[in-house]
Structure 1
Amino acid sequence: MQQLEAVRKKIGTNSDLLSVVKTMKALAAVNIRHFETAAKGVGEYAEVIEQGWTVFFRNAGILPQGPKVGVAVVLAIGSDQGMCGQFNELARAEAVSVIEELRVAGHKVICWTCGDRLRGALEDCGVKVDLNFRVPGSLRGVDAIVDEIEQNLELWRTKHGMNRFSIVNNLHVSDDAKVAARHILPLDKRSGSMKWDGKSLPMTNCPVQDLFSNLFSEYLYISVYGAIVQSLAAENSSRLAAMQVAEKNIIEHIEVLESEFRTTRQGAITGELLDIVSGAEAIVGG
């Protein structure tokens, strides 16, 4: 009976774990939709900013060339939580590649991370992480993290001469995850020959300096915001896939335990019946 009770407890424990996994699956599925919607909205707004840059360059020309080498900040976005497959490993590998590429080009590379798991993975590879930001748990928390990152970027730009900024993050596209590395700054590769959709040429009455300041601020904001929400969508997608595998394994394990429970219970019943028969035969024989 003790063996039977032990198997019953194992079934109960695995059933509770299965409930947790199903809950995490549901939350991940809901979060994916939220972050995908946010990423889509940011993408549409980015197109407006691109049109603004077209107006700027048509009125102000090409930006002056900055120094070819200097301080480069690489922001790698990962997760604070586990159970998301190879999500952080993919970001780590791409971040290491980008850092090495910039170092070979002569830049002094400063690495920032968003997520304790990715920070640990990079430090294990020998990469020094100067700043780590927490990963927001919902869309409401993204703005605060973006503001914090922007404040540090401004500090490093003015005090440390940062002239290059890159972001590494996972992407969630058509139910498949991949990693992207974007060089956000400098802007000197932009040209004034961008096509303008429309019959009228773009013009503005806004002073060039004010236009640049506003566009630059919005461009930087949507670049960081978009990378974070894309990463969050990819993280939840990876977690959903991991939970689906875990759910399958738990169900299979429960089936094995239930089979073991039935076999053990049948053995116990058979043993009790044999005891009863043996006792009856002993009484009759006596």
Structure 2
Amino acid sequence: MEAFRPYTAKFNEAMSNLSGRSSGGSFPLMERREVKTIELAVITSDRGLCGSFNSNIVKLAERKMREYEGQGIKVSFVCVGKKGYQLLKRTEKVRKVFRDIMGTFQMYNAREIATELSQNFLAGNADKVEILYGEFASVAVQRPTSKDFLPVQPLEAQAGAETKKISGEYIYEPSAEEIMDVLQPLYLNVMVYHAMLEVGASEHAARMTAMDNATNACKDIISKLTILYNKARQAAITAELMDIVGGAEALK
């Protein structure tokens, strides 16, 4: 995940520069339409025992669903990972499920998911696609995150410090349009694979934290029960001694 982050950032930078030079009308994946239907790609883990990690991502998905439906927009889900599907299937809005791939996923899995999302967008069944996943911040913190996936839009340069970094202009050969035609599908693959890597790392971190908390809780329970046991044993011994002393006194 850490090794892939710089690659993703540089890919985003190149796509930003390219998309800013090209006319979006020539690329179907950059077509902006009136948003009547939205598809949410929800990436979670296949296994549980990782605390509230998966449920937090699903809560974000459900919150977005209610928000969009309140605006009269139709919502559908594509679930990557078994846990997300188990929690979202009750909504009856799950269009596609990718199960049992989060344990040993590869780039071809990301390509398959990106292709499914882009084909549904090109077919006109979704006017916008967002990708939801758990972003790895640290072993203790994993943030549910949402990013726009389709249509591909130029990433505008931010004001201030970000603008100062731009010191020149790229010259592309062949034309920016020809390069964009090749890079757009790769860009979608990279976005999905990056999200899957973030979820994979976040899942392990969340599980490690959850198991550590469970272990500490068990130790606390054992400590409390040991104290209770010792008190009960001491009380029983004291009662037996009192019976013996009382019997001896009675014999006198």
> TM-score range, shorter-chain basis?
0.7 to 0.9
Q: Is the 8 A contact 1:79 1:115 kept in 2?
A: yes
Structure 2 counterpart of 1:129, which letter? V
SS in structure 2 of the partner of residue 170 of structure 1: strand
1:234 aligns with 2:202: yes
Which residue of 96, 99, 124 maps to 2:65?
A: 99
Distance 1:212 1:82, change over 3 A: same
Q: 2:96 aligns with which of 131, 137, 140?
A: 131
Report the more deviating stretch, 188-197 or 87-96: 188-197
The 1:81/1:68 distance shift into structure 2, 3 A limit, reads same
Instruction: Tell me whether 1:244 sits opposite 2:208 in the alignment.
Output: no
Corresponding residue for residue 60 of structure 1: 22
1:177 equivalent among 142, 145, 148? 142
Structure 2 equivalent of residue 48 of structure 1: 10
Distance of aligned partners of 1:115 and 1:212 in 2 relative to their CA distance in 1, 3 Å threshold: same
State the shift of 1:226 in Å: 1.2
* Contact 1:170-1:177 at 8 Å conserved across structures: yes
AA aligned to 1:87 is F
Tell me the residue number matched to 1:9. none
* Greater relative contact order structure (CA < 8 Å, 6+ sep): 1
Please say which of residues 59-68 and 232-241 is displaced more in the overlay.
59-68
Which amino acid letter does the alignment assign opposite residue 51 of structure 2?
Answer: G
1:115 corresponds to = 81
**Structure with higher helix content:** 1
CA distance in 2, matches of 1:188, 1:227: 18
Mapped pair 1:80 → 2:42: no
Distance in 1 of aligned mates of 2:154 and 2:174? 23
The whole-number CA distance in structure 2 between the counterparts of 1:147 and 1:202 is: 28
TM superposition score normalised by structure 2: 0.75
- Please, what is the CA RMSD of the aligned residues? 3.6
TM-score by length of 1: 0.67
SS in 1 for 2:34: coil
CA positional deviation for 1:156: 1.4
CA distance in 2, matches of 1:200, 1:252: 61
The one-letter code matched in structure 2 to 1:108 is: K
Q: CA deviation at 1:257?
A: 5.3
